[in-house]
Chains A and B, each alone.
Chain A
Amino acid sequence: MAITVVTVRRPEDDVSYLRATLKGMALTFGHLFRKKVTMQYPEQKSDDTWEISTRWRGTHRMLTDEQGRAKCVACGLCPQVCPANCIKLVPGEDEEGNRYPLIYEIDEFRCVFCGYCQEVCPEEAIHVGVHYENAEYERERFVYDLERLCAQTHPVSTLWDPSDPKGE
């Protein structure tokens, strides 16, 4: 079967790219004078215009009591509930004979940031933090010990409340 070639002739105005290009350029240049939407991270960090959610689940923080001691009583629920098995806890006693963690370590590399540890904690001691800058030079530094967890100062997550899904 022979091939039939049909040549279509269109008006000059329709095939010229010049107009479309100019139109596109106009749009692009127009954006230069509009309000910027990109945040210049890391030079610029969260401000009034953009804030990290209070429900964000980042690296952990251990809250302390009035004397600056960890609130943790080493009950063992967080290592139990942890789906990533990233919490190491060895219970012991403090000077007054109270139950207290001798070793409390969280491997932030293994952590999946589910927030279960915060949810299960009966003493409201361990929290996931509203925090996202965790860079380190060594892998070992990602195992946070009790001292480091207590020294964190960033705000803590409010988690998601099913009875108040929008956080109001």
Chain B
Amino acid sequence: MADQALVTLTIEGVEVSVPKGTTILEAAKQAGVLIPHYCYHPGLPIAGVCRMCLIEVEGTPKLQIGCATEVAQGQVVKVFGDEALKARESVLEFLLINHPLDCPICDQAGECELQNYVFQEGRSNTRYAEYAKRFSPVEDFGADVLYVPNRCILCTRCVRFMEHVAEEPVLNVSERGDRAFIGIHPDATLDHEWAGNVVDLCPVGSLISKDFLHKARAWELDRTPSVCTGCSQGCNINLDTRSDVVVRIRPRPNPEVNRHFICDTGRMHYRWMNRGDRIEAPLISRGGELQATDWDHALSEAARLVSGSGGRAVVLISPNASNEAMFLAKRLVAQFTATLAFRVERVDGEIPLSGVPGLALRAERAANVAGATALGYRDDFDAAVQAIEGASLVIVVADDLEGVSREALQKAVNAVYIGTILPDAARGAALVLPVANTAEEDGTLVNRDGRVQRYLQAKSAPGMARPVWWVLGEVLKELGRGESLFSADEAFALMAEAEGSFRGLSYANLGMHGRTMSEARVSV
């Protein structure tokens, strides 16, 4: 980067230096100026068809499009000059000739770029009051996508995504002039695994998600940065919640992991976060029956069960559990000869996004396999289940215990089940502790490239459920082996201290784009 030639130019009176070959639109972002645009998207090839980013460049006779004009030394760019404003106002007027005024029923309202720019730079009245708007019926593009041709502004982002990024060119611009619309190949549907991204790319409400249709308004949503737990790729996502219910998942740009995209499997991977059949109170076994209790009793009971030393311990953990949970569970059984295990669902084949190297829906359908491995857990579930017999302590964290019988846990006298829901086999445990799921706690996950990434709490946990790091931290405190943990980053700091793979990392230096373990080792 450092030896790359820099070009200095002035945008709206702000001087910026950017690498040679940068477009004016990207340079303007660095100058803190957003040039209005529709067809330009950083994840797509440049088309220059919407004419929304017209700007004045001193010395050129005509207006230039910011998205396709490269910067030059000493350029003086005016984004909000009279001429540019007038041109963009005209572009917006053209776009609105046939655009319906159905914002009240449009899912995009509130996050619509047409709404935003018209409000910012458009005319306050129309000169086409007598003109009957063109009407075309809504079309089903298949899979999760609906096409509303009336709202389309023909930016061609969806066409370019399918052609150059998904590399399955099933969309095009059909017809010409004012009859143009987005056409789909007559024999094709938009069922490509990554096709759902066209909904996010669409700057208006023309391509909309069937799943999200009429579900919530954009302004009602809270957005929380998170990490997808659908596979080991670890795509960065935002959880959009509305009054403590996750209503949709959208990609959160991370140039190192998923650029601007997520797959449809990840996009739909949110319903489990809203499950209603959760454990809401600690349950303690009394005469073979689980009975609700409070945290004070549950924690002292947990400490009693764990307090032994010597003998064998088995920890079965979900590969979607946070590093913090895995680390503390491992610390909890430090006095024992421990078998640490997880199991991970694997399917046949990956589904890559052809245009983005290194991005695919991975065959390994769990988010923290790399973290578990780094912390000493083994992908050998069956052996661990065998080891339950005769073990002096069994701890299960968020595993659904499929294939494990209730009797197996009953026989192991000191069995603690820590989870969000209660599978039948877990009823054999001596103690059940309710914990928060990924959407309800802070934590970190490690993706297949060894990138440690943070996720934040998006909604509140039901009932008395608490984050795993808090629960395990309290048990360790009861045992006199640590202090209460007040936040997930304290648990992470303990782990960074004790575990070589995480050394040098902290919540502060992870940021929201994460860091790889090898990066951290180099900097220490």
Q: Which A residues contact B (CB, under 8 angstroms)?
A: 73-77, 80, 91-93, 98-99, 122-123
Contact = CB atoms under 8 A, between A and B. Distances in A.
A56 B465 CA distance: 50
B104 A91 contact: no
- Interface hub of B109, B213, B217 (most chain A Cβ within 10 A): B217
Contact of B219 (A74, A80, A93): A80
Given A91-B214, A91-B215, A92-B214, A99 B105 contact: yes
Contact of B109 (A75, A92, A123): A75
B105 A73 contact: yes
Nearest to A102: B214
B103 A99 contact: no
A150 to B, nearest CB: 18
B353 to A, nearest CB: 32
Closest 9 CB pairs of A and B: A75-B104, A76-B217, A99-B105, A122-B104, A91-B214, A73-B105, A73-B104, A99-B214, A93-B214
Contacts of A123: 104
A75 B217 contact: yes
13 contacts: A73-B104, A73-B105, A75-B105, A80-B217, A80-B219, A80-B220, A91-B214, A91-B215, A93-B214, A98-B105, A99-B105, A122-B104, A123-B104
A91 B242 CA distance: 13
B139 to A, nearest CB: 13
Contacts of A75: 103-105, 109, 217
Interface string B406-433: 0000000000000000000000000000
Contacts of A92: 214
Nearest to B102: A73
A95 B103 CA distance: 21
Contacts of A98: 105
Nearest to B105: A99
Nearest to A125: B104
Interface string B209-224: 0000111010110000
Nearest to A75: B104
B256 to A, nearest CB: 37
A88 to B, nearest CB: 11
Given A77-B104, A80-B219, 4 more contacts: A75-B217, A80-B220, A92-B214, A99-B214
Contacts of B213: 93
A135 B300 CA distance: 56
B205 to A, nearest CB: 12
A93 B220 CA distance: 19
Contacts of A122: 103-104
A93 B103 CA distance: 16
- Interface hub of B109, B213, B214, B219 (most chain A Cβ within 10 A): B214
A57 to B, nearest CB: 23
A75 B115 CA distance: 15
Interface in B198-215: 213-215
Contacts of A93: 213-214
A122 B217 CA distance: 15
Nearest to A72: B104
Interface in B84-113: 103-105, 109
A88 B217 CA distance: 14
A102 B219 CA distance: 19
